[in-house]
Copies of this chain bind each other. A is one copy, B any other.
Amino acid sequence: MTGKTERADRVSVTRERILTAAERLFAEHGVFAVSNRQVSEAAGQGNNAAVGYHFGTKTHLVRAIIRKHAEPVERIRERMLADMGDSADVRDWAACLVRPVTEHLAALGSPTWHARFIAQVVTDPSLRALVAEETRSSPSLRRTLEGFHQCLPELPAEVRAERGDMARQLITHMCAERERALAEGTPTPRASWHDAATGLIDALVGLWLAPVTRDS
C-alpha cells in the first residue's frame, strides 16, 4: 500500500467518524443546537476545527450526511423498480416509496439517527432546499411518482401533487417518530421497520385512493 493510499484511507475514516458523530448529535439535540466544535470533539478529533477542514460549513456537513444515505436508498428503490411487473398497482407504488427508506433504516442496525436528522432538515427554512435538491435528482423517485399517475389517471394533477407531498411528509415524519420512540424506549405501534412500513403503505393506499371532494 502506498503512503498516498494510506493517507486517503485515514481521511476517509475520519470523514466517516465525523458524519456519524454529527448525525447522532443533530438527531438528539437539534441541528442548530450543536456546534461544529462539538461534532469534532464527539468524533474524537484532537483538532476542534476538523469539521471545517473536512467539510467546510455546517450546510456542507448536512449535505454530506444527506448524500451518504440517499445513495443506498436509491439503490434499493432501483432494485424494487426492476422487479416491478407491468401490472403494478397503487399498493406496489406506495411500497416503492416507503420500503427503500425503512429497509435502509433497518439495515443500519440499532440505534439510528438518520430519520430524526432528515425530519429536522426538511422542516428548517434554511436547510430544506438541500433535501429538495436530492429528491429532484433521484431518477427512481421520479419513476415512482409517474407510477401513481399511471394507476390513477383520473386524479386531477394538483391533487396528485398534493398527495405526493402528503406521502413524503408522512414517510419522513413517521419514520422520525418511530426512531425517537425506539431511542427513548417508549412503545411503538409496530414491532419492526418492516411492519411499520406495512402500516404506512396501508395508510398511503387509502390516502391515494380517497375520493376527491370538489369545493364549490
Contacts and interface: CB of A to CB of B under 8 A. Distances in A.
A205 B166 CA distance: 14
A154 interface: no
Interface string A125-147: 11000000000000000000000
Interface string A22-51: 000001111111000000000000000000
Contacts of A205: 210
Given A116-B125, A211-B202, A174 B165 contact: yes
Contacts of A208: 206
Closest 4 CB pairs of A and B: A206-B210, A32-B32, A206-B206, A158-B189
A171 to B, nearest CB: 10
Nearest to A119: B123
Given A33-B32, A126-B29, A215 B189 contact: no
A195 interface: yes
A176 B169 CA distance: 11
A195 B212 CA distance: 11
11 contacts: A31-B32, A119-B123, A120-B124, A165-B174, A166-B170, A169-B169, A169-B177, A170-B170, A194-B215, A202-B212, A203-B210
Interface residues of A, number: 48
Given A162-B190, A170-B166, A207 B203 contact: yes
A198 interface: yes
Nearest to A180: B125
Interface in A150-206: 158-159, 161-163, 165-166, 169-170, 173-174, 176-177, 180, 189-190, 194-195, 198-199, 201-206
